[in-house]
Amino acid sequence: MPEIPAPRGARPRHDIRPRVLATLTPEPSTATEIAERAGLPGRERTLHAARALMRLEEDGLAVRGGTPQAPRWSSAAAGPASG
C-alpha cells in the first residue's frame, strides 16, 4: 500500500494494519497486547492498534469480543472471539 504524504516536517504515516494482522491469533488479546507484539512505537501505540483493529474488523479480518469497555481481538480465521 502506498504511503500517505505527510505535511512538511512530519514523519510519513505508514499503514500498520499488516503488522497488526500478523499478530492476531485465535486467542483474544487486548489492543495493548497486540500493539506490543506488533512492535508499535510511541505513547499512542494502543490507540493506533485499536484503530487498525477496527479497520481490520470492517474488512472481515479481525473479530472483536469481550465487552465494549474492554474489547479483545482475535483473528477472523479463528471464528468469533469469546473473550
- For 37-77, what is each residue's pLDDT tens digit? 999 988 899 999 999 999 999 999 999 999 999 999 999 98
Q: Residue 82, Cβ neighbours under 10 Å: how many?
A: 10
- Whether 70 maps to a domain, the answer reads yes
Higher-confidence residue of 4 and 56: namely 56
In a domain, 62, yes or no: yes
CATH no. for residue 50? 1.10.10.10
Domain that holds residue 53: 17-76
Contact (Cβ atoms closer than 8 angstroms) between residue 73 and residue 81: yes
Q: What is the pTM of this model?
A: 0.76
Answer whether residue 82 is part of any domain: no
- Based on the structure, what is the number of domains in the chain? 1
Whole-angstrom distance, CA of residue 50 vs CA of residue 46? 6
Assess if residue 24 is contained within a domain: yes
Residue 3 lies in a domain: no
| Inside any domain, residue 39 | yes
